[in-house]
A and B are shown apart, each in its own frame.
Chain A
Amino acid sequence: MTPFAELIERLVFTPSRNAKLRLLTDYFARVPDPDRGWALAALTGGLEFPAVKAGVVRGLAVERVDPALFGWSYDYVGDLAETVSLIWPKRHGANRVPSLGEVVDTMREASRSTAPALVAGLLDTFDTNERFAFLKLITGGMRIGVSARLAKVALAQYGDADVAEIEELWHGLEPPYEDLFTWLDGRAPKPSIDDKAVFRPLMLSHPLEDGDKASIDPASYRAEWKWDGIRVQVAALGDQRRLYSRTGDDISGAFPDIVEAMDFDAVLDGELLVYQDGAVQSFNRLQQRLNRKTVTARMLEEHPAWVRLYDILFDGSEDLRDLSFDDRRQRLEQWIGRIAPGRMDLSPMIDFPDWQTLDDMRSSTANSAIEGVMLKRGDSTYVAGRPKGPWYKWKRGPLTLDTVLMYAQRGHGKRSSFYSDFTFGAWRPGEDGEPELVPVGKAYFGFTDEELAQLDKWVRGHTVERFGPVRSVAPDLVLEVAFDSVGRSTRHKSGVAMRFPRISRIRWDKPAAEADHLSTLEALIVD
């Protein structure tokens, strides 16, 4: 348990992605099986202990500690697991600290009635950091800034493998992943995962840059709309049906409507959307259904899910990935004709004679569910990752708004000495009739390092008030903000929320009074 607790402790405070990778690969190299595999499962959300609830932990704490002292401490610390880990009284002569594997075994066998005593016994053997890691482990949600994707990248680095290989294996493997580590250590061949509805890493595209158009021939590329949902893989083989996100997270649980429609044997690539009254609905509607483990009947009815199919990877057990895009497209059309799947349809192709026509179509479509167009070379095979050349995405130009900088916050890691997170506002009529600023969004990228240094200097020179790491600044600097769309939001004071906002230009020249008004932003809302 000790190395795991040390790892968690470091990861909690480490902002940099590279440093996190270093900590993870170091851990995988130092710690034996099965502990490193259990740690991997904990970090990727693959471990659950339903017998333990947060209430149990709190109950144990107030049995051991004076309730008044516990109350003051909890008020001060603010996090239950952390408070308990700090306040738990030492027991002399406690047992040897068990390994992570032993802890997992113990807790997996626990029932609701035996769990409290087991938890108390383990807390007695641990030190503060071990208690914290243990409590986070058993009450779910490590929330330490390590995504499943990052853990897989660390595995790839550790074993000098391709992350696509690990993603492909991932859902065919079980914790504590000993076969995976044995392979990464070079002591056994790659685990075999045939005939399972595992995730096949997606083929991704590069943005089309201005220079690209001159060097590629439109006749060799096919175009289709880029739909504004989330990219998914539909994998149904035998009795297994799974819906995967772009990074290989299994999101089947949140989309039982799609899973029910998967009564076929195939692996498909498509866009997950909300589809109602014969039309694709806004991304905002889809968002209601994302990041959930389960879904209510009401949500299923209000926001029905749909998959618009782009590609076919497997027809039954036949692997089509080595076929050309044109051949796969033909197979996809035939497959849809043959199977007629529910809750799915074909993404239509767009005919275009030249770039200019496509550009006009891309820019002029009134359909807010379209993000732009995709270009796929007719002879391209389906390869994992993001090869340069075969696929391009060509997004519609972003929306922009001239806003006024209101607050700046210190960044993290390399940016900890810079004010790098910016909250900006738009004008609206105040109660006294004078215009006032209301925050409309926050962005922390879009600028160069040199511009960041200038912004940091400006913030320091125009600070009006400080609140811890945040400064409010004089409303004098105009920032042009680019964003993909804007929706209504009850969580923001302005009533609007931008999607993917970034600083597109610093308007040193523009007087703040001439920045945009909230009404301009409201007019861009899509529901």
Chain B
Amino acid sequence: MPGDFFVDPVRPAGRAVITHGHADHARPGNASVLATDQTLAIMQARYGDQAGASLQPLAYGEPVEIGEVSVRLVPAGHVLGSAQVVLEYRGSRVVVSGDYKRGADPTCAPFEPVPCDVFITEATFGLPVFRHPPAGDEIAKLLNSVALFPERSHLVGVYSLGKCQRVIALLRQAGYDRPIYLHGALIALTELYQRLGVQLGDLRPMADVAKGDLRGEIVLAPPSAIADRWSRRLPDPVVCAASGWMRVRQRARQRGVELPMIISDHADWDELLATIDEVDAPEVWVTHGREEALVHQVTQSGRRAQALSLVGFEDDAVD
């Protein structure tokens, strides 16, 4: 590419543009990193000195020239600081979506569609079985369960960056004002969100609390902890998980989840198609997920589409 830089490189690069802070996009060890200041803060919190030798913050909408390419970051609505990368070169515009969603999220700026010639879209949920219900309804399910099982704790599996803070914010929006308890692995990034101005209310480390005192309370933990030994510290927990993958019952069951909450930070099938129509790109490249179904559907609607296979990404992207 003219400009000699990489978007979300899987191996350390000389110059990297990073869409957001999830570990499968933002990796340590790049020489120079261009990203939103929130993403840079997240990378520093995660990687410390390894976040990058030179960190260059770029505000949303502000163009910067790299070689002959004009680069601009536009909100992607995925997590705090997440951005699409808009590239312009000799009159053509390419948009790299990064990960994105269209549903409302009180913890980050909403996705902005940018008309373009080539749209490189993620497709984590690129099958028509993935249609996320309103997140508020899923939060209501959790609160109903807390009312029905007041003697049990509710343990919600959430990814530490984005989902955790969004679930807390959604609970607060629903009027839940009790303390929310956090697994130790969630604390650093949640505090960073608060420092960056996201209001999350009364949060407490779970480690300080006696087992019996967690009856009737909501506890958040990383997905890996919810059904493992760590969870034995909780009184008869109702195991919940907040993820788009919870849409499929077998997935939820495999993970021992008793209350699946379908809350995703990725576009669902309808949002993917609506976004492609909005940016109205004649050419769509599909990556990160179930490319074949989306390529098939986009081709049916008269656009050119192809799968862009990337190495280094897991089948089950972070959600």
A interface list, Cβ under 8 A from B: 10, 12-15, 19, 22-23, 26, 65-66, 68-69, 72-73, 76-79, 82-83, 86-87, 127-128, 410, 412-414, 416-417, 468-469
Given contacts A13-B252, A68-B293, 15 further A-B contacts (CB under 8 A): A13-B253, A13-B260, A23-B148, A65-B128, A69-B128, A69-B293, A72-B290, A72-B292, A73-B127, A76-B127, A77-B248, A86-B131, A86-B247, A127-B133, A412-B256
Asked if A468 and B258 sit within 8 Å, CB to CB, the answer is no
Task: Answer yes or no: B229 CB below 8 A from chain A CBs.
Answer: yes
Task: Answer yes or no: B129 CB below 8 A from chain A CBs.
Answer: yes
Complex Cα–Cα for A127 and B262 (A): 14
For residue B252, give the distance in angstroms from its CB to the closest CB of chain A: 6
Task: Answer yes or no: B231 CB below 8 A from chain A CBs.
Answer: yes
Task: Answer yes or no: B62 CB below 8 A from chain A CBs.
Answer: no
**Using Cβ atoms and an 8 Å threshold, which residues of chain B touch A76?**
127, 129, 248, 290
Task: Answer yes or no: B114 CB below 8 A from chain A CBs.
Answer: no
Complex Cα–Cα for A26 and B145 (A): 11
Q: Of all chain B residues, which has the CB nearest A72? A: B293
Q: Which of B218-241 contact A (CB under 8 A)?
A: 227-232, 236, 238-239
Which of B231, B236, B249 has most chain A Cβ within 10 Å?
B249
Which of A73, A414, A416 has most chain B Cβ within 10 Å?
A416
Partner of B248, one of A66, A82, A416: A82
Task: Answer yes or no: B259 CB below 8 A from chain A CBs.
Answer: yes
| With A86-B247, A128-B131 as contacts: A417 and B228 at CB distance below 8 Å | yes
Asked if B148 and A79 sit within 8 Å, CB to CB, the answer is no
Complex Cα–Cα for A12 and B251 (A): 13
| With A19-B149, A128-B133 as contacts: A69 and B296 at CB distance below 8 Å | yes
Partner of A87, one of B129, B133, B232: B129
Task: Answer yes or no: B257 CB below 8 A from chain A CBs.
Answer: yes
**Using Cβ atoms and an 8 Å threshold, which residues of chain B touch A413?**
258
Complex Cα–Cα for A446 and B260 (A): 31
Partner of B129, one of A68, A83, A410, A417: A83
Complex Cα–Cα for A100 and B162 (A): 38
Asked if A86 and B227 sit within 8 Å, CB to CB, the answer is no
Ordered by A's residue number, 8 sampled pairs between the chains whose C-beta atoms are within 8 Å are: A10-B259, A13-B259, A19-B258, A76-B127, A86-B129, A410-B227, A417-B227, A417-B232
Complex Cα–Cα for A73 and B290 (A): 10
CB-CB contacts of B136-167 with A at 8 A, as 1s and 0s? 00000000010011000000000000000000
**Using Cβ atoms and an 8 Å threshold, which residues of chain B touch A412?**
256
For residue A67, give the distance in angstroms from its CB to the closest CB of chain B: 11
Q: Of all chain B residues, which has the CB nearest A26? A: B148
Complex Cα–Cα for A15 and B238 (A): 10
**Using Cβ atoms and an 8 Å threshold, which residues of chain A touch B231?**
416-417
Task: Answer yes or no: B254 CB below 8 A from chain A CBs.
Answer: yes
Asked if A77 and B227 sit within 8 Å, CB to CB, the answer is no
Q: Of all chain A residues, which has the CB nearest B147? A: A26
Q: Of all chain A residues, which has the CB nearest B137? A: A127
Asked if B259 and A468 sit within 8 Å, CB to CB, the answer is no
Asked if A69 and B258 sit within 8 Å, CB to CB, the answer is no
Partner of A66, one of B129, B131, B300: B300
**Using Cβ atoms and an 8 Å threshold, which residues of chain A touch B131?**
86, 128
Partner of B258, one of A15, A26, A66, A73: A15
Complex Cα–Cα for A87 and B247 (A): 11
Complex Cα–Cα for A279 and B149 (A): 53
Asked if B257 and A13 sit within 8 Å, CB to CB, the answer is yes
Complex Cα–Cα for A240 and B51 (A): 80
Task: Answer yes or no: B92 CB below 8 A from chain A CBs.
Answer: no
Which of A10, A69, A127 has most chain B Cβ within 10 Å?
A69
Task: Answer yes or no: B297 CB below 8 A from chain A CBs.
Answer: yes
Asked if B250 and A73 sit within 8 Å, CB to CB, the answer is no
Complex Cα–Cα for A26 and B127 (A): 36
Interface size grouping (class) on chain B: 35 or more
Q: Of all chain A residues, which has the CB nearest B294? A: A69
| With A69-B297, A72-B290, A72-B293 as contacts: A12 and B249 at CB distance below 8 Å | yes
For residue A303, give the distance in angstroms from its CB to the closest CB of chain B: 36
For residue A282, give the distance in angstroms from its CB to the closest CB of chain B: 35
Complex Cα–Cα for A469 and B128 (A): 28
Asked if A13 and B258 sit within 8 Å, CB to CB, the answer is yes
Asked if A79 and B250 sit within 8 Å, CB to CB, the answer is yes
Q: Of all chain B residues, which has the CB nearest A413? A: B258
For residue A64, give the distance in angstroms from its CB to the closest CB of chain B: 11
Asked if A73 and B249 sit within 8 Å, CB to CB, the answer is no
Asked if A78 and B250 sit within 8 Å, CB to CB, the answer is yes
Complex Cα–Cα for A19 and B145 (A): 11
**Using Cβ atoms and an 8 Å threshold, which residues of chain A touch B250?**
77-79
Asked if A468 and B128 sit within 8 Å, CB to CB, the answer is no
Q: Of all chain B residues, which has the CB nearest A469? A: B254
**Using Cβ atoms and an 8 Å threshold, which residues of chain A touch B128?**
65, 69, 73, 86-87
Partner of A468, one of B149, B247, B248, B254: B254
**Using Cβ atoms and an 8 Å threshold, which residues of chain B touch A22?**
148-149
**Using Cβ atoms and an 8 Å threshold, which residues of chain B touch A77?**
129, 248, 250
Asked if B248 and A410 sit within 8 Å, CB to CB, the answer is no
CB-CB contacts of B40-70 with A at 8 A, as 1s and 0s? 0000000000000000000000000000000
Asked if B292 and A82 sit within 8 Å, CB to CB, the answer is no
**Using Cβ atoms and an 8 Å threshold, which residues of chain A touch B290?**
72, 76
Q: Which 5 A-B pairs have the closest CB atoms?
A: A86-B129, A416-B256, A416-B227, A73-B129, A72-B293
For residue A449, give the distance in angstroms from its CB to the closest CB of chain B: 11
Which of A22, A76, A469 has most chain B Cβ within 10 Å?
A76
**Using Cβ atoms and an 8 Å threshold, which residues of chain B touch A66?**
296-297, 300
**Using Cβ atoms and an 8 Å threshold, which residues of chain B touch A69?**
127-128, 293, 296-297
**Using Cβ atoms and an 8 Å threshold, which residues of chain A touch B129?**
73, 76-77, 83, 86-87
**Using Cβ atoms and an 8 Å threshold, which residues of chain A touch B252?**
13
**Using Cβ atoms and an 8 Å threshold, which residues of chain B touch A128?**
131, 133
Complex Cα–Cα for A150 and B238 (A): 20
Asked if A14 and B258 sit within 8 Å, CB to CB, the answer is yes
For residue B145, give the distance in angstroms from its CB to the closest CB of chain A: 8
Q: Of all chain A residues, which has the CB nearest B129? A: A86
Q: Of all chain B residues, which has the CB nearest A85? A: B129
Q: Of all chain A residues, which has the CB nearest B127? A: A73
**Using Cβ atoms and an 8 Å threshold, which residues of chain B touch A82?**
248-249
**Using Cβ atoms and an 8 Å threshold, which residues of chain B touch A72?**
127, 290, 292-293
Q: Of all chain A residues, which has the CB nearest B258? A: A13
**Using Cβ atoms and an 8 Å threshold, which residues of chain A touch B248?**
76-77, 82, 86
For residue A15, give the distance in angstroms from its CB to the closest CB of chain B: 7
Q: Of all chain A residues, which has the CB nearest B248? A: A77
**Using Cβ atoms and an 8 Å threshold, which residues of chain A touch B257?**
13
**Using Cβ atoms and an 8 Å threshold, which residues of chain B touch A12?**
249
Complex Cα–Cα for A78 and B149 (A): 32
For residue A352, give the distance in angstroms from its CB to the closest CB of chain B: 47
Complex Cα–Cα for A83 and B35 (A): 39
For residue B43, give the distance in angstroms from its CB to the closest CB of chain A: 31
CB-CB contacts of B103-140 with A at 8 A, as 1s and 0s? 00000000000000000000000011111010000000
For residue B109, give the distance in angstroms from its CB to the closest CB of chain A: 28
Partner of B239, one of A68, A86, A416: A416
For residue B157, give the distance in angstroms from its CB to the closest CB of chain A: 12
Complex Cα–Cα for A128 and B258 (A): 18
For residue B149, give the distance in angstroms from its CB to the closest CB of chain A: 7
Q: Of all chain A residues, which has the CB nearest B262? A: A128
**Using Cβ atoms and an 8 Å threshold, which residues of chain A touch B239?**
416
**Using Cβ atoms and an 8 Å threshold, which residues of chain B touch A469?**
254, 256
Q: Of all chain B residues, which has the CB nearest A75? A: B127
For residue B146, give the distance in angstroms from its CB to the closest CB of chain A: 13
For residue A339, give the distance in angstroms from its CB to the closest CB of chain B: 52
